[in-house]
Structure 1
Amino acid sequence: MTRRRIFISSVQKELAQEREGLRDYLHADPLLRRFFDVFLFEDVPAADRSAERGYLNEVKQCDIFLGLFANDYGRENRQGLSSTELEFNAATEAGKTRLIYVKGANDRSKHPKMKALILRAGNELIRRRFDGVATLKPAVYASLVDYLEEERLISTAPFDASPCANAEMDDLDVEAMQAFIRLARHARNFPLPESTRPVKLLAHLNLLVDDHPANAAMLLFGRKPQRFFPTSEIKCAHFHGTEVAKPIPSYQTYKGTVFQMVDQAIDFVMSKIAARVGTRSQNAQAPVTYEIPRDVVAEAVVNAVAHRDYSSNASVQVMLFSDRLEVTNPGGLPKSLTLESLRQAHSSVPRNPLIAESLYLTQYIERMGTGTGDM
């Protein structure tokens, strides 16, 4: 991910507290520090070059021009322009994103040229007022979050409905989509024919965002989903005893689409648990009874994949012991559910509703909140 660079512009001495406070805040905030680097001219070491040329070059290299305008206009050059106005002009000419914050409830005490600059900025963009560091921080935070959403670096939509960064239609497997349609038509009378074009299928399933694949599309039908989501995998381990112990007798990591990972993980468990073969007294084919029913194993694995937090660096884990099966996934319960409520009838609250929809259409899940009760 390419980090965005913020250039903070103001009269340095007058707004020293705001400049330093804002820089420290952006460096410390858990969200913003992931995306932004901050440039303050006072942080630049001494160098044998023109100061004006230096800060104007930094403006050209930044992504966001953040201007703090107060009372003073600042030292003027031979043309009668201050550094603050020169920087604003450079950002405007370069087409940079400009965020302007004006200190004070009114402009009566401001330098005439600062008044003119504030008026000019107000004619070109939306300004915000502040009266100190305490009110500046939330105003800047709101603007930067809006910027991240517009740039699609973050989203308030569910993870699976957000656009898959750098993904194109060619990254999806057409045969996987055709197989999905076949299975969904058989399982749920899915209305689209097998000959449906990929774009139409994805649009029908709400898996397109401005003609680009959503995260769910890549996880369900991607040629190489792990190229985009490295931790979308299921780690399976079989232990002969009741505790985790090395060496691990059998260990596999499964990758691929959601459907491929689920099928492989279920097969791993079923191949390791005890099975009893019955007689052919009532049928030509001898019945096989497993120590843990296949439906129970499938329910646990599918739930773990459907409801996991895909933004986490952790993976789904399936661990089979001599006395139990443990299936874990990254992510907590939705706020509306508790461990106690899971033991009773409850509504389905999918973390990834688009992934859950496709799993429902192929009859991997029932989407009725019955999974934990069945297990």
Structure 2
Amino acid sequence: MPLHINIEDLLHHRSVESDRIEFKEGWNPDAIYRSICAFANDFENTGGGYIIVGIIEEDGVAKRPVKGLSVTEIAEIQRKMIGFNNLIRPLYSPKVFLEEVDGQQILVIWAPGGSNRPYEVPEQITANQKRHFYYVRRYANSVKADQETQQELISLANQVPFDDRPNTHASLDDVSMVLVQDHLRKVESRLFEWTEQRSKAEVLEQMLLVEGPAEHRFPRNVALMMFNEHPEKFFPASWVDVVYFPKGEGHSEFTEFPKITGPVPDMIRKTLDLLQTNFLREKVIKQPGKAEAVRVWNYPYAALEEAVANALYHRDYLVREQVEIRMTPDSIVILNYGGPDRSIRQEDLNSGRIRPRRYRNRRLGDFLKELDLTEGRATGIPTIKRVLENNGSPAPTFRTDEDRTFFEVELFCHPAFIEDSLVDNDQVSDQVSDQVEEELARELEPEHMKILSYALKPAKRKDILEKGVGLANHTDNVRRYVNPLLEKGLLDQTIKDRPSSPLQQYITTEKGRELLKQQLKQ
């Protein structure tokens, strides 16, 4: 059966964090089953993990080309796993997938967080005398749980994160296969092709989105969050409210936008589109004695993207309160109910050094990471702080209360847009003289103009080339069509300090927009 995520993304840690992946050159059942047990216990509610057999690990990454496994080895491993699974207490069976990489067959063992934890397994599963122990993950290692950890692990019995629980008020009919297929297509999973030949129940079972006996299957909550057009039917107040106070909060004048609804990924995208279209602005600083100007945003898109995605990822879907976004001329406040884990202190939020003990919506986070809508665990606040600093913006503030009932992020407008010390956007056209426009137009090909048109909203390079221009996302096409636009200041990256970030997007600059306008006039 095909894996539900793209195998290359998995090997390169793009869709799953590196400490949730183990590479094994060959079949070592003792070590492998200790890791299966640790992933199943999911001590930090991160979603379990993956063990990939047939790959040599080199400096923390997969050595290419992969070593692979023979047909005989794969058959023997699968045969033995049936018996070994019965030695896990209580019974637990990881999912096994056969994938082809570099022309070789490898085995992917998916061990998601179990619903009947805590689990224990023999320390040496192949030994005659078997002594069972609990195992947990510590960073990138599977270790035997000490006495204190054992007690905490036992206290987690039957405490399944909300998004991973079955919803007995819904049925499989409430899960849209159109949305499921669209997700699999976007993440380039081989399971997408498989959906045409199998039933809905089989596909959802393969993705661990259903639970219950065969005669009465229930979708898990994450299936309704991701693959239902109206999740607010199952999780009241599952929408986003955006309100703008042009004269500040407390003033009677305000604009309330229509509430934003839909599957969680759609809510994130729609919210960001609304904010970008109505509020994001760019200005240009003229630097004395220098030819180049400095461009800044009132609110950098990457910071807003992280804040909005985190609000919908980490909110408590049991609480009947929507995500709120309040905007004034001075700041944007993003509020979600259900605060951070109690292990996170206010000073941790202020410093950006965060290591939460528990994650509220482990499966939802996995799906959003596959779509590049969030970077991963405990990276949101550091990313927001770094992006704002690089833009020259004031530091953000993060607030919660003693009972952890809410979490609030406030991003402050860049001073240039308040003090009017920079060149206004309307003056950008004056910087692009008619002569420069004519020279640029002569140098550019039709494909360049298509890229500028497509990137009026932030877009990934792959989408720009494939959807915007109809070309392959190939290095040669990047050199020929994308890089020249970056060099000429017509196109820019949204995350300048990390060009290879998985969240990297490209956007047409004001200079590029002005050029497009002039070309349309002609």
TM-score normalised by L of structure 2: 0.38
Q: For residues 360 and 184 of structure 1, what CA distance do their matches in structure 2 show?
A: 10
Shift of 1:318: 1.1
Q: Is 1:264 the counterpart of 2:287 in the alignment?
A: no
Q: For residues 247 and 273 of structure 2, what CA distance do their matches in structure 1 show?
A: 20
Once the two structures are superposed, the pairs formed by residues 265-284 of structure 1 within 5 Å of their partners are: 265-276=271-282
Could you list the runs of 5+ residues in structure 1 that have no partner in the other structure? 1-154, 279-286
2:257 alignment partner, SS class? strand
Of 178, 182, 201, the match for 1:179: 182
Tell me the number of residue pairs that the alignment of Structure 1 and Structure 2 aligns.
210
Could you list the runs of 5+ residues in structure 2 that have no partner in the other structure? 1-157, 285-293, 385-522
Match of 1:12 in 2: none
Shift of 1:199: 3.4
Of 227, 239, 246, the match for 1:233: 239
Q: For residues 323 and 256 of structure 1, what CA distance do their matches in structure 2 show?
A: 29
Once the two structures are superposed, the pairs formed by residues 32-47 of structure 1 within 5 Å of their partners are: none
2:225 alignment partner, SS class? helix
Match of 1:109 in 2: none
Match of 1:298 in 2: 305
Match of 1:316 in 2: 323
Please say if residues 315 and 330 of structure 1, whose CA atoms lie closer than 8 Å, have aligned partners that are also in contact. Answer: yes
Of 334, 353, 372, the match for 2:362: 353
CA deviation vs aligned residue, 1:82-118 (integer Å, no higher than 9, x gap): xxxxxxxxxxxxxxxxxxxxxxxxxxxxxxxxxxxxx
Q: Which amino acid aligns with 1:346?
A: I
Match of 1:339 in 2: 346
Shift of 1:297: 0.9
Q: 1:243 to 1:157 in 2, by over 3 A?
A: same
Shift of 1:369: 1.1
Q: Which amino acid aligns with 2:353?
A: A
TM-score normalised by L of structure 1: 0.52
Q: Which amino acid aligns with 2:307?
A: A
Q: For residues 239 and 340 of structure 1, what CA distance do their matches in structure 2 show?
A: 30
1:237 alignment partner, SS class? strand
Match of 2:227 in 1: 221
Once the two structures are superposed, the pairs formed by residues 44-83 of structure 1 within 5 Å of their partners are: none
Please say if residues 237 and 252 of structure 1, whose CA atoms lie closer than 8 Å, have aligned partners that are also in contact. Answer: no
Once the two structures are superposed, the pairs formed by residues 67-146 of structure 1 within 5 Å of their partners are: none
Once the two structures are superposed, the pairs formed by residues 184-195 of structure 1 within 5 Å of their partners are: 184-185=187-188, 190-195=189-194
Shift of 1:308: 0.6
Please say if residues 178 and 195 of structure 1, whose CA atoms lie closer than 8 Å, have aligned partners that are also in contact. Answer: no
Superposition misfits of 4+ residues, deviation over 4 angstroms = none
Q: For residues 251 and 367 of structure 1, what CA distance do their matches in structure 2 show?
A: 30
Match of 1:147 in 2: none
CA deviation vs aligned residue, 1:237-267 (integer Å, no higher than 9, x gap): 1121332433322422111110111111111
Please say if residues 233 and 315 of structure 1, whose CA atoms lie closer than 8 Å, have aligned partners that are also in contact. Answer: yes
Match of 2:162 in 1: 159
Q: 1:193 to 1:315 in 2, by over 3 A?
A: same
Q: Which amino acid aligns with 1:292?
A: Y
Please say if residues 173 and 222 of structure 1, whose CA atoms lie closer than 8 Å, have aligned partners that are also in contact. Answer: yes
Shift of 1:194: 4.3
Q: Which has the larger radius of gyration?
A: 1
Match of 1:202 in 2: 204
Match of 2:258 in 1: 252
Shift of 1:368: 3.0
Q: 1:168 to 1:293 in 2, by over 3 A?
A: same
Of 191-200 and 230-239, more deviation after overlay is shown by 191-200
Q: For residues 277 and 194 of structure 1, what CA distance do their matches in structure 2 show?
A: 46
Q: For residues 298 and 223 of structure 2, what CA distance do their matches in structure 1 show?
A: 35
CA RMSD of aligned residues (A): 2.5
